[in-house]
Amino acid sequence: MEKRIYNFSAGPAILPEEVLKEAQEHLFALPGVGMSVLEISHRSKVFDKIIAEAKEDLKKLLAIDDNYELLFLQGGASLQFSMVPLNLMPPKNKADYIVTGSWSKKAVKEAKRVGTVNIAASTEQENFTRVPKQEEIKLDPDAAYVHFTSNNTIYGTEFHKEPEVGKVPLVCDASSDILHKKIDVNKYALIYAGAQKNMGPSGVTFIIIRKDMLERSQDTLHSMLNYKIHVDNGSLYNTPAVFGVYIINLVAKWLKNLGGLDAMYKINEEKAGLLYKCIDESSGFYKGHALPESRSLMNITFRLNSEDLEKKLISEASAAGFDGLKGHRSVGGLRASIYNAFPKKGVEDLVSFMKDFQKKNG
């Protein structure tokens, strides 16, 4: 079998080896089915079971109660930038957005096509090196909802606690940190996440929606853009991403076997801790982009003293089997994305590589 390298890509991103091996083993024919998951009908009993198991396990992992519906849709997190305002903004037609990076800005762009957007807080002036403090967030108590991005994939910042929004429904784009730790889902009205960062392959978007929110979806909406229609049809209004849901189901089982999200969080803290320690103890050779209080556990962004040195590190790292370390063009530098599935050994190896590189070039 082909040897695997360390994949630090921000998304689509690394998946657990156990999941890939099981999918590979069963790709030709699912046990007892005689057909590949790529070939089965989305209306078959086999798929009914896959989607039901995936929902059940995700509900357990995140302790989601019966007050919420779970959906697997397509169109990526980017379609949610439109679906959220189309479904949830009326009749007030105004919502609060907390802007902490490029993805929040894209969410704002689409929401403005539907109604009035109040920028409740933005850290753009500081090049998104942090998320805002609670006292900086200027909320409208009459807003239809408050939208925020829990983890800023590009800048490497993260909310370690969700903003307090009182009685206003809280909506979250959790694309790049869903399932990295247990959260109190009851604080949210809606959570959405493109699967390809921390849950599965691209092509499927996971949505958790509180049942009362469904009353807002108007009949005049296009069916494919209407949460209520998708809920009424159990994510099967049209053909869903069958393979994507299958992989999410395997990933959920992998998380369960690992001991659930508290166990996962502990490992994530350890992994990120190793990299941030290496940055902090480098006497300024490596400079983290995010301020310490806003550091992401999923995407670690850092720079070196010159772009030439950054290029050199990326090219030597890539030759040594560390792939995908080039930072997003809007931040520059480097980004190590170390989602749930990224092995601790890979982080340890990167840290020794970075220390070695500093010795030779510092």
Residues annotated as part of the active site: 103, 173, 197
Stretch that binds ligand PLP, among 33-41, 74-82, 84-92, 252-260 (CB under 6 A): 74-82
In the complex, residue closest to ligand PLP by CB: 76
- Write down the least CB distance from residue 95 to ligand PLP, Å: 17
Q: Supply the Cα-derived Rg of the chain in whole angstroms.
A: 21
- Write down the least CB distance from residue 83 to ligand PLP, Å: 12
| Residue with the two structure tokens 């998708």 | 230
Question: Using CB under 6 A as the criterion, what x/- string covers residues 125-164 for binding ligand PLP?
Answer: ------------------------x---x-----------
Asked if 197 interacts with ligand PLP (CB under 6 A), we say yes
Kind plus residue range of the DSSP H or E element containing 350: helix 344-361
Q: In Å, how far from its chain's centre is CA 344?
A: 19
- Write down the least CB distance from residue 264 to ligand PLP, Å: 18
- Write down the least CB distance from residue 270 to ligand PLP, Å: 23
Asked if 11 interacts with ligand PLP (CB under 6 A), we say yes
Name the residue nearer to ligand PLP (CB basis): 253 or 335.
335
Stretch that binds ligand PLP, among 66-74, 130-138, 168-176, 329-337 (CB under 6 A): 168-176
Q: Which two tokens stand for residue 218?
A: 């108007």
> What are the distances in angstroms from CA 305 to CA 92, 274, 312, 362?
49, 21, 12, 10
Say how far apart CA 89 and CA 145 lie, in whole Å: 7
Q: Tell me how many residues contact ligand PLP (CB under 6 A).
A: 12
- Write down the least CB distance from residue 195 to ligand PLP, Å: 8
CB 168 within 8 A of CB 143: yes
Name the residue nearer to ligand PLP (CB basis): 76 or 321.
76
Please select the residue that binds ligand PLP; options are 58, 70, 77, 143, rule is CB under 6 A. Answer: 77
All residues at 6 or more sequence positions from 99 whose CB lies less than 8 Å from its CB, including other chains: 105, 108, 119, 121, 122, 123, 124
Number of helices followed by number of strands (H, E) in the chain: 9, 14
CA atoms within 13 A of residue 282's CA, in its CB half-sphere: 28
Say how far apart CA 138 and CA 202 lie, in whole Å: 35
Q: Which of residues 83-112 bind ligand PLP (CB under 6 A)?
A: 103
- Write down the least CB distance from residue 219 to ligand PLP, Å: 27
Asked if 9 interacts with ligand PLP (CB under 6 A), we say no
Rounded to 5, what percent of the chain is helix, strand, coil? Answer: 40, 15, 45
Question: Using CB under 6 A as the criterion, what x/- string covers residues 170-189 for binding ligand PLP?
Answer: ---x-xx-------------
Name the residue nearer to ligand PLP (CB basis): 79 or 137.
79
Query: Which neighbouring-strand residues pair with 335?
Result: 301
Say how far apart CA 225 and CA 20 lie, in whole Å: 32
Asked if 82 interacts with ligand PLP (CB under 6 A), we say no
* 116, 120, 121, 125: CA torsion to nearest 10: 30
Interface contacts to ligand PLP, rule CB under 6 A: 11, 76-78, 103, 149, 153, 173, 175-176, 194, 197
